[in-house]
């Protein structure tokens, strides 16, 4: 089994959501520049034999597919013989369409989706700027990924509302999500 050195890379603090427990979206900072991306890639891939880039935000898809196409170009440029590179990305899922899903599938990305459980829980905290809950958009993104053969993992924030809903309901939700909405496309 290949062992990787993981580099968690924050590409931007900007986001299309306004989750009420997050401060990243308030940031005025710029996304990572090409110069920084190139230096990071060169440095990581000359220091370690096997590198895992874990792309984080903010919302990682707000920088556009171009950003990751450039990352793929740089990784191919700096990959040394006998070494390996892999990519994983964490996203809120709301901007994932066919193009993103196709790109992730073509380039072997592992995809983690941020979702806080069933809609009554998720939409309490994870809303768009207009106040609308993001649950439906997240599920659309997940189904796009599934249609390209990607099985996303899940990152979930647990707070007192989660605890009040109870472990059984959370477990039932994720079972429903994978068995019904995702695997059967319902
Ligand atoms: S999706 Fe992530 S980065 Fe965006 S507001 Fe929510 S927690 Fe923050």
Q: Where are the domains of the chain?
A: 5-182
State the Cα angle at 56 between 141 and 143, rounded to 5°: 10
One DSSP character per residue, 74-122 reads HHHHHPPTT-EEEEEEEE-STT--HHHHHHHHHTT-EEEEE--SSHHHH
Whole-number pLDDT of residue 124: 95
Run of H or E including 173: helix 167-176
Provide the 3-class DSSP secondary structure of residue 55. strand
Measured CA to CA, the distance from residue 101 to residue 140 in angstroms comes to 11
| Tens digit of pLDDT at every position of the chain (186 positions) | 899 999 999 999 999 999 999 999 888 889 999 999 999 999 999 999 999 999 999 999 999 999 999 999 999 999 999 999 999 999 999 999 999 999 999 999 999 999 999 999 999 999 999 999 999 999 999 999 999 999 999 999 999 999 999 999 999 998 887 775 555 554
Whole-number pLDDT of residue 56: 97
Whole-number pLDDT of residue 186: 41
Measured CA to CA, the distance from residue 183 to residue 147 in angstroms comes to 9
Q: How far is the CA of 6 from the centre of ligand 1 (A)?
A: 22
Nearest CA to ligand 1 atom 2: 58
Whole-number pLDDT of residue 176: 84
Measured CA to CA, the distance from residue 120 to residue 165 in angstroms comes to 10
The binding-site residues of ligand 1, defined as CB within 6 angstroms of any ligand atom, are 15, 17-19, 22, 24-25, 57-59, 92, 114, 126
Measured CA to CA, the distance from residue 67 to residue 33 in angstroms comes to 9
Position in ligand 1 atom list of the atom nearest CA 126? 6
Q: Say what the pTM is.
A: 0.94
The b-or-e profile of 156-177 (16+ CB within 10 A means b, else e) is: ebeeeebeeeeeeebeebeeeb
Q: Cα–Cα distances in Å, from 6 out to 42, 53, 57, 77?
A: 15, 6, 16, 19
Position in ligand 1 atom list of the atom nearest CA 22? 8
3-class SS shares of the chain: helix, strand, coil, % to 5? 45, 20, 35
CATH topology of domain 5-182: TIM Barrel (3.20.20)
Whole-number pLDDT of residue 28: 81
Residue identified by tokens 């892999």 is 86
């Amino acid at each position: 089994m290949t062992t990787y050195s993981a580099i968690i890379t924050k590409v931007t603090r900007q986001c299309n959501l306004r989750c009420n427990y997050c401060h990243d979206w308030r940031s005025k900072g710029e996304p990572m520049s090409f110069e920084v991306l190139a230096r990071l890639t060169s440095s990581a891939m000359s220091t370690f034999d096997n590198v895992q880039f874990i792309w984080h935000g903010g919302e990682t898809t707000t920088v556009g597919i171009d950003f990751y196409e450039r990352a793929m170009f740089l990784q191919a440029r700096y990959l040394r013989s006998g070494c390996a590179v892999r990519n994983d990305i964490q996203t809120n899922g709301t901007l994932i369409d066919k193009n993103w899903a196709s790109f992730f599938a073509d380039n072997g990305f592992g995809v983690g989706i941020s979702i806080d459980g069933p809609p009554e829980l998720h939409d309490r905290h994870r809303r768009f700027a207009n106040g609308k809950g993001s649950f439906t958009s997240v599920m659309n993104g997940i189904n796009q990924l599934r249609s390209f053969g990607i099985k996303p993992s899940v990152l979930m924030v647990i707070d007192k509302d989660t605890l009040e809903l109870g472990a059984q309901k959370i477990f039932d939700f994720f079972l429903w999500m994978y068995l019904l909405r995702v695997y059967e496309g319902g």
